[in-house]
Structures are given as C-alpha cells and as structure tokens.
Amino acid sequence: MDLSIKTVIVDDELYNRDELKFLLESHPSIQIIGEAETGEAAIMKSIQLQPDVVFLDVEMPLMNGIEVAKALIELKKPPLIVFATAFPEFAVEAFRYDAIDYLLKPYDEEQLKETIERIERKLSTPIQNQIPEKPTGKLAVDADGEIFYLDPNDILYIFREEKITRIIAKAGEFEVKTPLKDLENRLALFHFFRIHKGYLVNLKYVTRLTPWFNGAYQLQVEGRDELLSVSRNYVKALRMRLEI
C-alpha cells in the first residue's frame, strides 16, 4: 500500500517513546514526524504538524492523555488517536474520544500490526465529506460447479478453515477457496467486521456479546445457535462499531 501515515508519539518517558518508535519504524507506511513528552506539547505538535495519527500515553503529569484527546478531537483536522498505556482501566473512557485502538504496555507486536492495518484501512477510505455510493452488487460464489449470487446483506458470517472459506448465509452454507482477506476487501462497503483472524461477521445480525476469558468475548448472530469467538484484540473496536 502506497500510504504515508504522519505519526506523533506522546509519552512522558523517553524509554517508552524510543521503544514505540523502534516498533513503528518497521512498518513502511508509518512516518514519524514528531514526539512530545507532555500533554501541552502534544497539542502544539498536532496543531503545527497536523499528523494523521497520535499514539498517546494516558498517565502523564499535569495534563493526562484523556484531557489531550478531548483537545485533539476539537481540532479542525483531528488526528486518529491510539492510546498506548500500561493501565487497562482507562479503556472505556478512552473510547469516548473516538480512539481507533487502545494498546497496553509492554507492546504486543502482533496487536500493533493489527492497529496499523486498521489505521491504513481508515486513512485509505476517502469517506469524509462524501456521500458513499450505495453498494448494489452481489457476491459470486462458485459451489459444486454452479455459481450462486449472494446478496452480502444476507450473509451472516464468514470464516476460514484450513484452505476452505465457509460462507454462512440465510440461503444456506457455501464453501469457496477465496481467501478471507479477499472477501473482506470485496465486502468493505457492507457491514462486515473481523472479530478474529479467521472470522468476518455481518454486524447487522449480531444479537449478543458475552465476556469469555482473558479479555476475549463470544458473539452470537441472529438465527444461529453457535457462539463465535471474538479475539481480545478486536473487542474494543467491535464494541465501538456496535454501540450507538
């Protein structure tokens, strides 16, 4: 993806800034344009540099990350916000300020990768000040030598099992060889959300979200008895998408 994401890192600890900078620099789309060690400096840097995303610590002296986020979302060009902190108890409040993710220290490289992919998708989709075209196409599914055309709005969820992708729809269940990532891209204009590296769910049909263990959840969709596992890395973003 030919995308340059202007990034500012905010943390009062130099070691933490250096660690996050080191991890971010391994991602080609990330362009680190500034650092700040206080909340006040973070706001000034954001006004001057107009970053696409700010990685923001929560616990800082004088002005904490939540207060900084309140100020950043009021800017003429507000950046995306990723909270990066050692304190999970601030997560609920953090997402009230449109945070795109909430990373816990010490950083998990796989979770950071998923966060950056989420940022890339967000920034590569030009939706601001536009009326999106209503998608009308159907998904072609080649099954048992026949081609079925499925309305994406009638698909409940999709999952990948070994080398087969299974589509669970109102009309039945279908097996295709198309990778899950390809289907995710083709269904980008619909209400699908990745709840696990191997699952896509149509948010229109989610009826229940139940805590499980280790921060993971289980999800149920309309008309189905099975429970789908929601990875803890996706729970916060999923709840943001589901809740009014």
The residues spanned by each domain of the chain are 5-124, 139-242
Q: Which residues does residue 230 pair with via DSSP β-bridges, in sequence order? A: 217
Does residue 43 register a pLDDT over 90?
Answer: yes
Instruction: Please give the Cα distance from 239 to 244 (Å, whole number).
Output: 9
**Which CATH code fits 5-124?**
3.40.50.2300
User: pLDDT tens across 54-93, in order?
Assistant: 999 998 888 888 899 988 988 888 999 999 888 777 666 6
Please state whether the predicted TM-score (pTM) of the whole model is above 0.75: no
Q: Using CB atoms within 10 A of its CB, is residue 137 exposed (0-12), middle (13-18) or buried (19+)?
A: exposed
**Which CATH code fits 139-242?**
2.40.50.1020
